[in-house]
Structure 1
Amino acid sequence: MSSLIEGLPDEVSLLCLARIPLYLHPNLSLVCRSWRAAAQSVELLRARHEVNFTEDFICVCAHEPNNTWQLYDPRRNLWITTPALPSHIGHISYFSAVSVAGKLFVLGGGHNPETVEEDDEGTFATNEVWSYEPVTRKWALCAPMIVPRVSFACGVVNGKIIVAGGFDASRSPTAKAEIYDPENNVWILMPDLNYTDNNICNGAVLNGKMHVVHMGTSMVQKFDSVEQAWKTDICSWSNSPAVVVREVVYVNSFTCCCFYKNKNAEHIEIGSFGLYDTLMASLGNEIYLIGGVKKGEWNPQGRCLTSNVTVLTFGRGGPPAFRQAAPMNGGIILACTSMRV
């Protein structure tokens, strides 16, 4: 890079470019070669950190387009499409996704049976881990998980990624758990879960602890980092994936959103959406309900999918406020998470 801005050293020019929001970065590449190089450089990423310029996004992957993630910018109410995930598995499904230190991580997963050609068994479970850097717009292959897995619990605790449960490459439920250090790009085995079963499991981080819940059970396993052991407790949010806002667990139970707080096992309906298969992501004091299938609206060609995005904003008290965000592209939502860049 040279002569980014005439009359200014490149170091100063980068600090100026660092304040340009991500949705405008494609335009930077159209200015000239040096700006295109700067827009995709690690130096620009460092400059953003130096000026403490951050943006929040909701990251969503749908069945279509194939292996493509979209980033929702809540400040500007628009969607940004990323380069497709370069996995060898087409239409990868049953994976987990989280964000750490400004990067999106996509972990594990396997083939979608509907996309596998005849006489091809596909890949049931992989241990692949990919990271996406939004500033450089590049995917990178990270150290693989120790255990290939699908439909597993995943969460971030103290800047490290914890995965547990799910099904391994032999299609059997696994109690194995492991933790990933993004800074050193290394996986370490953790103590096994106390139990597992033939159901998928969900994860949530509450009060700084990783919680693992198997569908259809009333028990939760949470990891005690001091004793380095999983502790079992009663849980009331076992039927659906959950998100956490202000240390409160919210669950979308098909037709309504409910919450469970501490051990009160209290459920309160806060809204009826008439949707199935809706996924959720939390950002600050908001919950984003993304996609889903409209209840009662079916057609001969298949399910009636929606790309709607409903935002619930929680105040200091009373029911949340509702609003509609810009709809996303794609049909069945495979995964979503929030990210700060």
Structure 2
Amino acid sequence: MPGFMCETKQFPKSQMYFSNNVKKYSSHRKTHPHISHHVHHDIYCPLLSDLPDDVAKNCLALVPRSNFPAMGVVCKQWRSFIQSKDFITVRKQIRKLEEWLYTLTADTKGKGSHWEVLDCVGNKYQRLPQMPGPQKAEFGVVVINGKLLVMGGYLVDEGTGCVSPAVYEYHSCLNRWIMLSNMNVARYDFACTEVNGLVYAVGGHGVGGESLSSAEVYNPEKNEWILIESLRRPRWGCFAYEFKGKVYIMGGRSSFTIGNSRFVDIYDPETHSWCEVKNGCVMVTTHAVLGNKLFCMEWKNQRKLAIFDSDDCLWKTVPVPVTGSSRIRFQFGIIDEKLLLFSMEEEPGYRTLMYDPNAAPGLEWQTSAIKPSGSCLCSVTIKA
């Protein structure tokens, strides 16, 4: 199967997967020579007739986000502008950025999953188009430049596991998926994050289920993955986050530790090197970064938030209010600089908990109307 590296191996089934049979899109479509002159001519057409482009850009940036897909089919110039970083920059300058939550939600009776979009007050806008490619699990998810990247993972097909290096990008403004360049290493159950406009993928499991120490970085401007210095030891089941321009890897397991690892691997893009400290959380089920603080939920204690402050390098714990069943497991979401606790289990009557780290003491916890249509498997915030 093109794009996948396969080996006969039994994998455990995961809740986190896509199931679809839609046509693949390509970011490298060929242009017919007979229409190349027309495309060249379009590039020099103004965005709006009789208006300078800088004024036209401000006009287009004022349009509500829900209308972006319709704008993208008006003409090549509008579509090109909407896809550019310049569009996000203009929206930010005129204070028109909108935060939307993209949640990977389990379908009823465990028959797959889908991405759905909610706004800051809980209105559900739509389901995303199904991602191209076969059913996958244990993939990585990163947001960069207002776009959602889904990377790697393994597919399960009648007991045979195939590990994927494939990368797909969902453009939130145009409501469509495209295929990007493959990773150098097919991997699943790995750590990934965005730092300074680049995407890092670290560790995980490889084609034969072996644990990996390799790491690589993706440059969206070049649509290119490059291998970087490997970790000092293989690591999987971990997660990545960014602090002050560096990549931090925490949690998960290592081939050279007994049980779960407390080591934190830190990559400095300026020196292109790794170092390590021993001050991490273990068995982390979900995490989020707000400002200079890292929020974690550990498997052993689902009723306390573990909060790491990067300024003083100290951990503290905050009790989570008991609502509904005490068996509820959580996934984090972020909206308006507040932390959302979505339920990973079907629980009638459960209301989303919201934690405001900037609220007055005693008022940090509230409930929110924002709630996916089913069990939340993953959540990201995209500003556009």
Q: Could you state the TM-score of these two structures normalised by the residue count of structure 1? A: 0.79
Q: CA deviation at 1:142?
A: 0.5
Q: CA deviation at 1:267?
A: 2.4
The answer for the alignment partner of 2:160 in structure 1 is: 121
Once residues 349 and 202 of structure 2 are traced to their aligned partners in structure 1, the CA distance between those partners, rounded to angstroms, is: 31
Amino acid at match of 2:264: V
SS at match of 1:256: strand
SS at match of 2:321: coil
| Matching of residue 100 in structure 1 with residue 144 in structure 2 | yes
Query: Which residue of 296, 306, 312 maps to 1:258?
Result: 306
Query: Which residue of 216, 233, 245 maps to 1:208?
Result: 245
Q: Determine what percentage of the aligned residue pairs are the same residue.
A: 18
Give yes or no for contact 1:221–1:230 (8 Å, CA) kept in 2. yes
Once residues 73 and 321 of structure 2 are traced to their aligned partners in structure 1, the CA distance between those partners, rounded to angstroms, is: 46
Mapping 1:25-40, distance limit 5 Å: 29=70, 37=74
Give yes or no for contact 1:94–1:334 (8 Å, CA) kept in 2. no
Give yes or no for contact 1:258–1:269 (8 Å, CA) kept in 2. yes
The answer for the alignment partner of 2:211 in structure 1 is: 173
The answer for the alignment partner of 1:282 in structure 2 is: 334
Task: Tell me the matched-pair count.
Answer: 314
Cα gap change, 1:170 to 1:161, in 2 (>3 Å): same
Mapping 1:158-169, distance limit 5 Å: 158-169=196-207
Mapping 1:21-60, distance limit 5 Å: 21-24=64-67, 29=70, 37=74, 41-45=79-83, 48-49=87-88, 51-52=90-91, 53-60=96-103
Query: Which residue of 176, 195, 202 maps to 1:157?
Result: 195
Query: Which residue of 258, 268, 287 maps to 1:224?
Result: 268
SS at match of 1:144: coil
Query: Which residue of 140, 147, 156 maps to 2:178?
Result: 140
SS at match of 2:116: strand
Q: CA RMSD in A?
A: 3.3
Amino acid at match of 1:244: V
Q: Could you state the TM-score of these two structures normalised by the residue count of structure 2? A: 0.71
Structure 2 regions of 5+ residues with no counterpart? Answer: 1-41, 253-259
Query: Which residue of 340, 360, 368 maps to 1:324?
Result: 368
Mapping 1:12-91, distance limit 5 Å: 16=59, 18-24=61-67, 29=70, 37=74, 41-45=79-83, 48-49=87-88, 51-52=90-91, 53-64=96-107, 66=112, 68-74=114-120, 76-90=121-135
Once residues 154 and 348 of structure 2 are traced to their aligned partners in structure 1, the CA distance between those partners, rounded to angstroms, is: 23
Cα gap change, 1:221 to 1:168, in 2 (>3 Å): same
The answer for the alignment partner of 1:315 in structure 2 is: 358
Once residues 306 and 153 of structure 1 are traced to their aligned partners in structure 2, the CA distance between those partners, rounded to angstroms, is: 33
Amino acid at match of 1:147: V
Once residues 55 and 252 of structure 1 are traced to their aligned partners in structure 2, the CA distance between those partners, rounded to angstroms, is: 27
Q: CA deviation at 1:323?
A: 2.4
Deviates more, 1:248-257 or 1:131-140: 248-257
Give yes or no for contact 2:251–2:261 (8 Å, CA) kept in 1. yes
Once residues 175 and 154 of structure 2 are traced to their aligned partners in structure 1, the CA distance between those partners, rounded to angstroms, is: 24
Cα gap change, 1:334 to 1:128, in 2 (>3 Å): farther
Give yes or no for contact 1:249–1:260 (8 Å, CA) kept in 2. yes
Q: CA deviation at 1:94?
A: 1.0
Once residues 130 and 72 of structure 2 are traced to their aligned partners in structure 1, the CA distance between those partners, rounded to angstroms, is: 25
Where in structure 1 do 4 or more consecutive aligned residues deviate above 6 Å?
7-14
